[in-house]
Structures are given as structure tokens and as C-alpha cells.
Chains A and B, each alone.
Chain A
Amino acid sequence: MLKVTAPWAIKITAIKLLIPAVFTIGLHSMELVILFFTNLILVLLLAMIILTVWRAANEKNVGRYRLISGLLIRKAAFFDEEILPGTLIPVKKSVTKLLNNKFFRKTFTEELLSAKKNLSGVAGENLKYLYYQLGLEKYALQNLRRSHWHLKSKAIQELTLMDMHDLKQDLFVFTNNKNELVRMEAQVAVVQFSGFDGLAFLDEITYSISEWQQMKLLQKLANFPPMLVKIDGWLRSSNDSVVLFALKLARNFHTFDSHDIIISCLQHDNPRIRLEAIHCLAEIYTPETSVHLISRYWRESLVNQLAIIKVLQNIASEDDMTFLVTLMYNVNYDMQLAAARALAHSGERGLSLLMKFGANDDIPNHIILQVTAELAA
């Protein structure tokens, strides 16, 4: 008799046969996985041990490297001979050889930069010369080409500190870098190297220049003799921070030629620019400047209005008295005080108008007393 096996039975048998096979294959896979991860852990442990030993060896050398660096730096700083083209600061062969060691070079460069920050005069110049003599700028240039922003900015700082003027063009390309710190270092570098000529980056910069950076650049420029700066283009820039910086330049360096463009900045959309333009006009003005300021006054915020009145203290003429007298009736105390000061400083007529307010009940008497006391002081 033929035994017919039901389909479901076949299936169960198949499954029963497959499970051990799968299980066997699975076991092999598991072993492989375990083996893989065990090996990985061993490799990682080995790498950690090697790194720890290497670090320990380097740290042991740090003291020695610092000593060697210190001796050479001191020798250079106090090098007695006048450094002329071709003069060489004596450097031991062993130290020259050590400079091929990345870790020593890093330590030496850090010590050299630290010393340079603290020394000026002949000693400072000698350290720059040593940096150049040892060819250390090429390592900084290598770092400039790397993708890490922190290495780039550190390299730029190093080259700036060591006054590598010849590399000005190499650094200029970074003045509009996407990384803010790299940009800032590069901008400071080109201004340090070239003074006002270094501001050429303002023609092309697309990023904003922070207030802090603007202050740093102005501080660097203070080391250079003032020169005629063509700022008209920057005053018209679509980059508001460039306009602000140009207004500061105008104020600091009295670029009278730019007066009319500065007046046009009073119409700018940005209230911060309008305020900076107002401050600028305290230093750069013509007999007509007060007319422009007064015509702008009623459209301005309180902060800008007060700034306008402060400028009028210096530049108001007889024709502006009516306007100033109107402001004495302003409900804002600061505005009254500012207007009183402007009147007091605008000549005999302004002062006599101010004194007449003493009898006016609408005007606090202490404002008049304060202003007259300030005049007397």
C-alpha cells in the first residue's frame, strides 16, 4: 500500500530539516561576529597602549624641548651683532636636526611665539629673524592649505605675529573666508602688513564685519600715519557693516571729501547706519550740515534724535535757534537737557535765549542751572 504523506507533514519535515542547518550556519556566523569584535577590541586596546606610550615619551621630552627652545630663543633675542642680509644667528646642528621632529618643532614654535608677544625692539626683531632663518613659515603655510579652520587661523596668527609681509597675498585670499575666525585673523594680518592699503578687502567682502573686529582694525590703523583714504565706495556698499566701518574711518581720519555721501547716509534704511552717520557729522561738517540734521530729526527714533541734538551742540548756528527753542518744550527730560546744552554752546544769542527760560514754568529750572554750571566749570 502506498503511503501518501500529507502536504502539511512535508512542510513540517522540511522545517525540521532546515532548522538544524540554519542553526549550524547561524552558529558559524555568530562565531565570526564574536571573532571580529574580539579582534577589533584587541586592535583598539593595542592602539591605545601605543598612543599612551607615545604620549608619555613625548611628555617626557617636553621639558627637554622647552629647555632647548628657551636657550636658542634667548640667544637670538640677545644676539649682539647687527643683523644684516646674510647674517645668521648661530644654531646648533643638533637643534636644526631636531626641528625635523614635529613635536619639537611645535614646542619650539609655541615658545618662540610666546616670547615674541612679550618682546619688542631689537629683541623682538631678532626673534622674527630667527623664525625666518629656520624656515618655520613653510609649516605655517602648509597649515593654511589644510581644511581645518582652527589650523588655518592659528597659522595666519603666527605669520602675522612674525611679520611675514611677503606672504600678504597668500593671506589676502582668506579675508572673505566662510569661517569667521579665519576671516578676522586674515583681515588683521593684511591691515597690519599694509595699513590703509590692506583695507582693499572691503571692496569684496560679503560677510559682516563685527563691531569688535572693526575696533581691532581701527586700532591697527592707528599705528600708521594718516593718509587719504578713498572711502566713498565703501560708504555706498551693499554690506551694511562695510558702511558702518567706513563711517568710523571717516570720523577717525577726517575724510572731509566724503561729507556729501555721509549726508546721504542719513537716509539709509538701517537706523544703526543713520546713527553712525550722525556721530560722524560731529567731526565732518560744513555750515549746511545742521540743516540736513534738523530736516532729518522728526523722522528719527529717540536715540537718533538725541544724537542729532548732541551734534548740534558743536555745529549749531544762529539759524538753528528756533528749532532748539522748540525742543525745550519736549516732554522728554533728556531731550530738554540736550537742547539746553546745544543752546548754551551755540553762542551769545543761544545763551541769552536759554536764560530766558529760567522764568518759564514749563521748563524745569534745574536744567538751566545744570547747564550754566557746566559752562562755568
Chain B
Amino acid sequence: MRILVAEDDELMLKMLEFRLKKDGHEVIVTHDGREALSKINEVIPDLVITDIMMPYLSGLEIIGSVKKNFPGTMPVIIISGMGQESVVLEAFQLGADDYITKPFSPNELSVRVKRFEKVILR
């Protein structure tokens, strides 16, 4: 799968890239919301993984844009911090497909992504 990852923490971004590439996915990394939206429209990934809190545009705005421009074809997984329950609920209302909270297990993320792989390949 082609996966776009949006995360402003450089180390976490590299972690996610490493894990997903290890699983055989093509990974496009972006460092903020604005860059993420631009890349989404350019490369049209199969899946988007985005942090909630990012510079320029938040993960919530990215979800809104993806669901509007690519309805039903581009799942979005959000990464939220602990204690952001209300934000997670808002993300689901906007159409997010799954979420994972920090601190998270990369293995768990890997399994969650695989779930979408099965759906997309069908």
C-alpha cells in the first residue's frame, strides 16, 4: 500500500516510516498539515496516518479534506495523545476510520494498517 504519514515529531516520523516500510508499504512522509494535504492531492495514497496536533493544519482538518475530496476511498488513521478523548470523538464524527493513542506499540499500528490493506485490496 501507499501510505502517507503526517507527523511533526521528526523521530516519531522516522519510526513510523521504518515500521511501515518493514511491512512492505510505500511510505510518503510529511512534517505538517499543509505539506500533508498538498502531498495527498499529488500522490493520492491508499491510506493516511496523521497526528492530530500539527503546525499549519491539524489532523482534523486533514480528515475533513480527505473525506470531502476522496469519499469512501482513502481511510484515515489518527494518532492522538492520551487525554484527547474529545478530539478523537470529533475525528470520528469527521469520518476517521481508526485511531491509536500514544504511547502506542508499533506492532499494534502494523496490525491496524494490515486490516485496511485487506479492505483496499478487495
Contacts and interface: CB of A to CB of B under 8 A. Distances in A.
Interface of A: 66, 70, 73-74, 77-78, 111, 114-124
B19 to A, nearest CB: 7
B10 interface: yes
Nearest to B13: A70
Categorize the interface residue count of chain B: 10 to 19
Contact of B11 (A115, A122, A124): A115
B103 A74 contact: no
Nearest to A125: B105
A117 B102 contact: yes
B9 interface: yes
Interface of B: 9-12, 14-15, 18-19, 22, 102-108
A111 B12 CA distance: 10
A73 B10 CA distance: 12
B15 A77 contact: yes
Nearest to A120: B103
A114 B11 contact: yes
B108 A121 contact: yes
B14 A123 contact: no
A123 B102 contact: no
A118 B51 CA distance: 12
Nearest to A77: B15
Nearest to B104: A120
B102 A122 contact: no
Contacts of B14: 70, 74
Given A78-B18, A120-B103, A124-B103, A115 B12 contact: yes
Given A74-B18, A78-B22, A111-B11, A122 B107 contact: yes
Q: Which 7 A-B pairs have the closest CB atoms?
A: A121-B105, A120-B103, A118-B102, A123-B106, A120-B105, A118-B103, A119-B103
B101 to A, nearest CB: 9
Contacts of A116: 103
Contacts of B105: 119-124
13 contacts: A66-B10, A70-B10, A70-B14, A73-B11, A78-B19, A114-B11, A115-B11, A118-B102, A119-B105, A119-B106, A121-B104, A122-B105, A123-B106
Given A78-B106, A118-B12, 11 more contacts: A74-B14, A78-B18, A114-B11, A115-B15, A119-B15, A119-B104, A120-B105, A121-B106, A123-B105, A124-B103, A124-B105
A32 B15 CA distance: 63
Given A118-B103, A119-B103, A74 B15 contact: yes
A118, A119, A120, A121: residue with the most chain B Cβ atoms closer than 10 Å: A118
Contacts of B104: 118-121
A77 B102 CA distance: 15
Contacts of A74: 14-15, 18
A77 B106 CA distance: 9
Nearest to A74: B18
B107 A121 contact: yes
Given A78-B18, A78-B22, A70 B11 contact: yes
A115 B7 CA distance: 13
A126 to B, nearest CB: 10
Nearest to A80: B22
Nearest to B106: A123
Contact of A117 (B103, B106, B108): B103
